[in-house]
A and B are shown apart, each in its own frame.
Chain A
Amino acid sequence: MKILVCISHVPDTTSKINFTDNNATFDPTGVQFVINPYDEFALTRAMWFKEKQGASVTVINVGNASTEPTLRKSLAIGADEAIRVNAEATDGFFVAKQIAEVAKNGNYDLILAGKESIDYNGGMVPGMIASILDYDVVTACIGLEIDGSSATIIREIDGGKETLSGSLPLVIGGQKGLVEEKDLRIPNMRGIMTARKKPLTVVESIAFQNTTTSTNFEKPVPKGACTMITSDNVDELVSLLHEEAKVI
């Protein structure tokens, strides 16, 4: 089984988000970048398929050279090889086109991605890749088993979960549940050393016009001060919620 894992390179969850150029551009100064948390679940599941079912695992990112440390980290966790499509990733549609192009040539049985990138929050790349390749897709995936060419997939739905059966090739948008938090791996020294020798191939992007463009960013308006209520005056909270906030 050949698996392609899509790795998005995003600011660490603790990052404070700032913009420059009159709020037109995200400011990476002082920001630490990591593997998108949802993609880490996908990669960890891929490692399980590698170790238990002999799968080969390729990781892919669409980005400029600054994303390479994130790909190296994925190799250190255990992926066999990495591909970077050399382009600025500014539109989900564009990213999906690039990944689908690589996937077409690579004949992957399974394409694993995260359910969304925590920076751009598009939630669109997996569905788009699948649609371009005419594969089926399941997002918000919290369980995945593969047996030969058939798959059993569990996805989260509003107010519950659904079990599906399907067959490869498939695209999956994963989240916690695909593996548990405790299964996530921190690369060890040996992993880091061998990662240096694993192939990281840079391919040029295919021409494709962006379908969307970010014009500018806006920070949420700072909140007014919190109205404090003393603990022996719970009554007041009830009336404030009713009369002032009008939420009960």
Chain B
Amino acid sequence: MTRLVVTGAGVLSPAGIGLQSLAAQISGHRGVPRSRSLDAGALCTEGPPDAIFNAVADFDVRQFLGRKGTAALDRQSALAVVACGQALEDSGLCVNDDNRDRIGVALGTSWGSLKSISDFVKESLLADRPYLVTPTHFPNTVLNCAAGQSAIRYGLRGINATVAGGRIAFLNALEYAANALRCGHADSMLTGAAEELTAHTAWAIHASRQEAKPTIVGEAAASFVIESFDAASACSRHVDIEVLSVSTGFCPGSRKPERVSACLDGCIRGVLKEAELGARDVTCVATCEAAGADDLHHGIESRAVAAVFGQTQVERIAIGSIFGECLAATGALQMGVMLALHRAHPRRDGQFSVMTGITRDGGYGAAVLRGWCRRGPNRP
């Protein structure tokens, strides 16, 4: 089986822009780091009461991409496009006429941009005539806008996919990208996910919660250059992460939480088996839900992780606790955090980690990763 590796990352998170801000956010805290609350200001003026917003602060797409071609980009696409550009740069993968047909894109999403879709409908409903909508906003209503815009910006003509999966969308995209690489549809895949913070996503998150605690709404985008180990080696690109296995699925009858736990449990064991590892080989587990398992999933994920890793000493990173609910971007942040930790700490070289995810409807997924820093003797 072709070995697949990550050779570069671009991450925009509530911690800031770039991997260093991500590492700084995580390091210096023992256990679960605390989230940094940011005023989302104009992003979300009609948000739910008592909600806390973790936005990518001061993000202005024009600072990264200039004015040309950015006027009609919605926030979701802008975040994704910038993350993809940073991943290419971090990897050192130069796009040119010799390779652009072989570089693909796979991005995860929930709705595309729910705000763009809803605002377009609103425009039609309120206009003097229902067709007097802004034509340049129409493409923003389609699910694959971010992936298409990323391809346009960097001239990526390979296979281009958008995978809708909510919280497991990045794992879905990772699985899709792995297939595309192994089947020879592409040599490199920009693989990521994005979720914008808007009143629409804030209310969607808020409305699906059952407990009284304030809703913590996040946003983020992250993208990774994934290619075969052989291709990365041939071009002397750094191997940051090896993706040993990834699998996603859906659990019918998901109104019974124990069923979803059992499905995720089986999925984690499956990806470990495929990676030829046992639970004891794993150093770190990154979950998507908040620590304490008190969020809308009622501990489904924690239960599965406890069942697999119960007696072993694993470090736990709960992405929901650090950034708030980032929906489709959650999985991309999990990988971003793992990569940032490896890059910052040579002592983590060669360590194995597992990332897991579930959606409230019964989607589940897991992946096994292994990482290294970019300096030091312990190269893969």
**A and B from one complex:** no
